[in-house]
Amino acid sequence: MQQAIWLLGKVTPLAILDVAIVTLILFGFLVLIRGTQADQLVRGVLIVLLATGVVGSALNLTILNWLVQNSLPAVLIAIPVVFQPELRRVLEQLGRTGNLLTTTRTRAIAHTGALVADEVSRGCQVLIDRGFGALLVFERTTGLEEYVQSATRLDALVSAELLHQVFFRGSPLHDGAVLIRQDRMVAARCLLPLSDNPILGPELGTRHRAAVGITEGTDAICVVVSEETGAVSIAEHGQLHRLPDHSHLERELTAFLAPAGVDRGDGEARSNSFAGLWRQRVTRTGPRVSAAVAPSAGRASQ
């Protein structure tokens, strides 16, 4: 009873605020890594620490309690190393919350995005009709210059005709991805990192895994056209979305490429605010792979 009274005497508004801040930080970290490989690793570490702590306290095991207490500093040091990709992505996303654009520039970017979406949509339709595949990566706020160094530079305006010439099966540029920055095709034959996410099915090929891989660590958008089935998919934030049909591509691209605060066309304005990022992560249940993983999709990279 005396201990309870002593503990209640220690509860001050500052202590409550301290606990609330730490809880919010931990909860936010868990939400931000949910659906990634780090999610499973964190759960495993927490379960082991909790189980050993409870057993050690219940049975008064001195050595086990000592081991748990002295392991916590090592765990805190290991977290930034083990979760480096996730922490980098989180910091990049938080950094993008401060990107404020003027009204004039926002409208100009929105107009450019609409033009690019139209050209890409028409180009993909030609590729689908002729049985060619494609992989397009759209740079947004995260720079992708490192993938241009080993690629073939183009520096040309985005056009449906040029996309067809690049991804024509006999073209030396058709392997790899085309990097698009604003309204220009910066480079072709870009080699993108492949995702090793186990959620992706074995029927997905190199193009789809590259699209997911580049979007796991950046805010880029990827468009993938399956050479075998003609199906069009969009990857964002490590998630692969199969479009119902090609007619949706222009509308979806226009929405994805619109700057923050510009209406997406469905009455919803995109926002880079922390609140918007928080809602996006809280409502996410993990890497979502839509119909692109269905057996009927065939091998995507073919």
- Determine the Cα–Cα distance for residues 117 and 256; give it in Å rounded to an integer: 10
pLDDT digits (tens, 9 = 90+) for 61-106: 888 888 888 887 887 787 777 777 666 666 666 665 555 444 444 4
Using the predicted structure, report yes or no on whether residue 265 has a pLDDT greater than 70. Answer: no
What confidence score (pLDDT) does residue 190 get? 95
Q: Where are the alpha helices (DSSP H) in 60-152?
A: 62-82, 84-95, 103-129
pTM: 0.58
Higher pLDDT, 213 or 269: 213
- Determine the Cα–Cα distance for residues 115 and 241; give it in Å rounded to an integer: 22
Closest by CA to 115, choosing from 259, 264, 257, is: 257
111 pLDDT band (50/70/90 cuts)? Answer: low
31 pLDDT band (50/70/90 cuts)? Answer: confident
282 pLDDT band (50/70/90 cuts)? Answer: very low
List all residues 6 or more positions away from 65 whose beta carbon is below 8 Å from its beta carbon.
Answer: 53, 56, 57
Given the structure tokens 């690019």, which residue do they identify? 116
CA dihedral 153, 155, 160, 164 (to 10 degrees): -20
What domains does the chain contain, in order, with CATH numbers? Answer: 2-95 (no CATH), 101-297 (3.40.1700.10)
What confidence score (pLDDT) does residue 269 get? 44
Strand partners, 190: 177
Most confident of the following: 162-176, 243-257, 279-293:
162-176
E strands present in the chain: 134-139, 152-157, 177-181, 184-190, 221-225, 232-236, 239-242
What confidence score (pLDDT) does residue 13 get? 83
- Determine the Cα–Cα distance for residues 118 and 114; give it in Å rounded to an integer: 6
Higher pLDDT, 235 or 295: 235
| Residue at 75: amino acid letter | V
8 Å CB contact between 264 and 110:
no
What confidence score (pLDDT) does residue 118 get? 92
Given the structure tokens 């119902």, which residue do they identify? 244
Mean pLDDT for 2-20 is 77
Given the structure tokens 């990097």, which residue do they identify? 179
Using the predicted structure, report yes or no on whether residue 278 has a pLDDT greater than 70. Answer: no
8 Å CB contact between 203 and 240:
no
pLDDT digits (tens, 9 = 90+) for 213-230: 999 888 899 999 998 888
Return mean pLDDT, the chain.
Answer: 76
- Determine the Cα–Cα distance for residues 12 and 18; give it in Å rounded to an integer: 10
What confidence score (pLDDT) does residue 299 get? 34
* Cβ neighbour number for residue 95 with a 10 Å cutoff: 12
Share of the chain above pLDDT 90, in %: 28
Using the predicted structure, report yes or no on whether residue 124 has a pLDDT greater than 90. Answer: yes
List all residues 6 or more positions away from 69 whose beta carbon is below 8 Å from its beta carbon.
Answer: none
